[in-house]
Amino acid sequence: MSPYDPSAFPPFAVTVDLVVLTVRRHALCALAVRRGEQPFQGRWALPGGFVRQDEDLSAAAARELIEETGLCAHDPDGPVQANGAHLEQLATYGDPKRDPRMRVVSVAHLALAPDLPAPRAGGDAHSARWAPVEALLQQGGYGREGEQAAPLAFDHAQILADGVERARSKIEYSSLATAFCPPEFTVGELRRVYEAVWGVVLDPRNFHRKVTGTPGFLVPTGGTTTRQGGRPAQLFRAGGATLLNPPMLRPEI
C-alpha cells in the first residue's frame, strides 16, 4: 500500500441542504430562498449552509432548520412535538461541478411540519417564501407575477424532486403523514394532507375506513371540533404505529 499523501486529496466543503415541506391552503409547498450572494445571486434555492467544524450533520441540519423556520427538529423515533418538525437524512450529492466555488458535497435532509408561518430569510438569503411544489418541479424555478422563472440554483431541483418523492412514498407505508398535522386533527384534515402530498382526490368514506381501521395509526382524543365548519368532527392524535399494515397505497394517476 502506498503511503498517504495529503496533497493528493484537495480540501472540500460539506453543506446541508433542506427540503422543508408543509401543507398550505391544501397544497404541498416547499421553502425556497432567494440567494443574496454569488454564486447564483438572485436565484431561488433550497435553504441550507456549510457544516461547521465542530458540529455533526444532524446538528447542522437542525441549526439551519431553526435559522430558516424557527422550528426545532425532533428525533424521528421520538414523539412529535407541537413546535417541532420531522427531520431525516435524504441523500448525499457530490457531483464535482455542482458548486462553481469549489468541491462541495451536500448531505440533504427532509423536514416535514404542519402549516408553517411565513418564513424569514437567514444567512446569505435575500428573501424566503413558500412555493407550491408543482410550480418548483415543473418550471424549475419560482417567480413573482410578471417575473420570469429561472431554474433553481445548484442541483436543488433534483434534491427537491427526491425529497418530494421520499415524502410521497413514505406516507404509503408509515405514519409520516401525521407530521403535517397539528397534535390533534380530524380524519378530514389528514385526508387533505394525503391529497396535497399525492396530488389526488380521495374518497372520504374509503379513506376514513382505512385510517381508522389500521391498528395504531390514529388514537381518538375524546374531543371534537367545528373548525372545518359543519357538524362537530372527532379529533385524533397520532398513534404509536410507525409502519402501516396494510399500507395506504397511492392511487395511480
Q: Provide the CATH number for the domain formed by 10-170 in this structure.
A: 3.90.79.10
Contact indicator for 31, 112 with CB cutoff of 8 Å: no
| Per-residue model confidence (pLDDT) at position 12 | 85
Residue type, 74: H
* Rounded average pLDDT per 10-residue block, the chain, 253 residues: 72 93 92 90 91 92 81 49 72 94 94 76 68 80 53 93 96 94 95 96 95 94 89 94 90 78
Domain boundaries in the chain?
Answer: 10-170, 174-238
The pTM of this model reads 0.86
| Per-residue model confidence (pLDDT) at position 113 | 87
- The residue among 128, 150, 132 whose CA lies nearest residue 141 is 150
| Per-residue model confidence (pLDDT) at position 7 | 74
* C-alpha–C-alpha distance, residues 28 and 23, integer Å: 5
DSSP H or E run through 32: strand 27-35
Query: Architecture of 174-238 per CATH?
Result: Orthogonal Bundle (1.10)
* C-alpha–C-alpha distance, residues 61 and 66, integer Å: 9
* C-alpha–C-alpha distance, residues 167 and 250, integer Å: 12
